[in-house]
Each structure stands twice: as C-alpha cells, then as structure tokens.
Amino acid sequence: MLALALLGGLLPWLGAFTGSAKGGRMTTAYQNDRLNAQLLQAAEGGDLNRVQVLLKAGASAVAADRNGRTALTWAAKGDHVAVARVLVAAGADPDPQDTEGNNALLVTGETGSVAMLREILKARPDLTRTNRFGGTALIPAADRGHLPYVRELLRTSNINVNHVNNLGWTALLEAVILGDGGPTHTEIVRELLAHGADRNIADRGGVTPLQHARQRGYAGMVRLLADSAGRP
C-alpha cells in the first residue's frame, strides 16, 4: 500500500517531466526549422555573414525549402560564390534536385559561372545528374555559348561529353543547332571535339552535327567537323 501511495505521488511529477521533455523537443525542432529557413533566405540573398552566423547557430547546410531547393542551389542561382564556399565547407550536398530538376551543378551549366563551378566541384557532385530536359550541366553551357565554363568543366572533370538528352541531342549537336555559328560557339565545338565528342552521333532524324552546320552555313564549324571526320 505504501509503495502504491508513493507511486501515486510520483505520477504527476513524471507526467510533468515527460510533457516538458516533449515540449523541449518541439521547441528545438521549431528553432531548427526557423534557422534553416533563415539560412535558405540568406543564401538566396548572398548574405555571407548571415550564412556563417546561422551555420554556427545550428542551421543545417543540407536544409531545403518546400520545393526541394537547397541553400547551395540558391547560392548557385545567385552566383554567390563566397556563400557557396562556406556551405560546401560545412558539408552541403550538391546533388539534391528541386521540383524543377535543378541542383547546384546543373544551375552553373545555365549561368556559366566558372568561379561557382569550381566551388561546386569541390563537393564532388554527381556529374550524371540531369536537368528537366535530360541534359547534364555541359549541354546547356554548350548551347548558351559559355565557352570558359565548357573549357573548365571539360578540363577538370570526367563528365560524359557524349551524353544524349531527352531531345536526342548531345552537347555537340546543341552547340551547332542552338548556337549562332559565331566564334564563341565555333570554339565550343573545337573544345568538345578535342575532349572526345563523337561527331557521328546524329539527332533523331539522322542528321549529324556536320550536316546541321552545312545546312546553316556555319563555315567555321563545317571546317572543324569535316577535319575531325578526316575530310578536307
């Protein structure tokens, strides 16, 4: 009876303790969510000092918003290189993709930022990840004329130069089809060929890069592609 009486006296205290513990966990979770949200906002805005403070306060370098966009992807979109450097050093993962199919590396293929590319490569990204069009980072860079970026990516990584996207195009085909035939896109064709681009991979209609270049009257590209094929 005495034992039961003692236990009865302890139950309210135990209940209060348990409720307090649960409340503490909920408070901690709320604080973490708040810190992570602030980190994402700071990364988007390029606020380096704020990012550093939030990481020290417990914000997660791998946090993502409701669309799956990480702080590192936000930094890449804004070309906030210093912010990306801090996030990578804190363990940010470059691979998670948002609802638009973007991640930090794929964004750099669109922006053409060599400085950002160098920071992202330090995190050892998955070079096979593809965007919403099924293309690697190299493909949009080639069609948009980001020559320095194309050179850096080909020089410093083992990205597949002959990857075919959902349209049935390689980076070489895109440089010809979507390029303007000018000096920059012509040099991109040269770089791609120098790094193993296969001139014989045709589009879904069976048209090769050389044939596309001839149809468009891109004389410089024609010379490069014809020379690569062993023809004058």
**Do 197 and 106 share a domain, yes or no?**
no
- Give the domain range for residue 188: 134-232
Query: 126, 154, 188: which is the final residue of a domain?
Result: 126
Instruction: Please identify, among 126, 144, 179, the residue that sits at the C-terminal boundary of a domain.
Output: 126
Residue 186 to residue 179: CA distance in whole angstroms = 9
User: Which helix (H) or strand (E) is 12 found in, with range?
Assistant: helix 2-45
Same domain, 150 and 57: no
Round the average pLDDT of the chain to a whole number and report it.
90
Q: How confident is the model at residue 16 (pLDDT cuts 50, 70, 90)?
A: very low
pLDDT at 27: 59
Structural domains of the chain, count: 2
CATH number of the domain where residue 115 is located: 1.25.40.20
Q: How far apart are CA 28 and CA 11, in angstroms?
A: 26
In a shared domain, residues 32 and 53: yes
pLDDT at 66 over 70: yes
Question: Are 138 and 225 members of one domain?
Answer: yes
46: amino acid identity, one letter: G
pLDDT in tens, 84-104: 999 999 999 999 999 999 999
Is residue 139 domain-shared with residue 120, that is, in the same domain?
Answer: no
The verdict on residue 16 lying in a domain is no
pLDDT bin (cut points 50, 70, 90) of residue 227 is: confident
Averaged pLDDT for residues 137-141:
98
Between vectors from CA 81 to CA 63 and to CA 48, what angle results, nearest 5°? 65
Residue 12 lies in a domain: no
| Closest CA relative to residue 161, chosen from 141, 146, 180 | 141
Query: Within 113-182, where are the H helices?
Result: 114-122, 138-143, 147-156, 171-177
Distance CA(82)–CA(165), nearest Å, equals 32
Residue 78 has pLDDT above 70, yes or no: yes
**Does residue 145 register a pLDDT over 50?**
yes
Q: Is residue 180 part of a domain?
A: yes
- Residue 72 — pLDDT band, cuts 50, 70, 90? very high
Whether the predicted pLDDT of 1 surpasses 60: no
| Shared domain check, 148 and 104 | no
pLDDT at residue 2, as a whole number? 35
74 occurs within a structural domain: yes
CB 109 within 8 A of CB 138: yes
Q: How confident is the model at residue 205 (pLDDT cuts 50, 70, 90)?
A: very high
Asked if residue 1 belongs to a domain, the reply is no
Measure the CA angle with vertex 157, ends 154 and 163; round to 5°.
65
Last residue within a domain, chosen from 126, 158, 189: 126
> Does one domain contain both 139 and 218?
yes
